Amino acid sequence: TVTSPAGTWMAPGYDDATWRAGQSPFGADRDNVPIGTPWTEADLWARREFEWTGDGARLAFAAYHDEDVEVFVNGVLAAQGSGYTTDYVELSATAAGRAALRPGRNLLAVHCRQTVGGQLLD
């Protein structure tokens, strides 16, 4: 989506039926990364369900982003990053983010802010 969602957009149960769908990476041409969904707006909010069967203690996120990125698991802030990256970086999960992860279906939600230059979020 491209407009700031209200309330608990990062939590399970939020109605995202009107959001645009797309494949990652989101952005514009940059660093020779093939773009799955064009994105030129200053903010991006994304949500995706996923299955988890691993050990929550080892939770980390690989991200390629511009400026600020926030990662949520089941509505809980699980990781943050800042700055322009030129490759994938590992974002360590917070204790609260690890605790929010459960076996089976989970929700991953990401907010990325970008104000200058070519955009990229994967």
* Band of residue 2 on the pLDDT scale cut at 50, 70, 90: low
Q: Which of 37-41, 104-108, 112-116 has the highest mean pLDDT?
A: 104-108
Is the overall model pTM greater than 0.75, yes or no?
yes
Which range, of 29-33, 59-63, 86-90, averages the lowest pLDDT? 29-33
pLDDT tens across 48-75, in order? 999 998 777 778 888 877 778 899 999 9
* Band of residue 94 on the pLDDT scale cut at 50, 70, 90: very high
Rounded distance between C-alpha atoms, residue 115 and residue 104, angstroms:
36
**What pLDDT is stored for residue 59 in this prediction?**
83
Say which residues have a Cβ less than 8 Å from residue 55's Cβ, sequence separation at least 6: none
**What pLDDT is stored for residue 114 in this prediction?**
73
**What pLDDT is stored for residue 122 in this prediction?**
79
Contact 10, 48 (CB under 8 A): no
Rounded distance between C-alpha atoms, residue 70 and residue 47, angstroms:
12
**What pLDDT is stored for residue 11 in this prediction?**
93
**What pLDDT is stored for residue 65 in this prediction?**
78
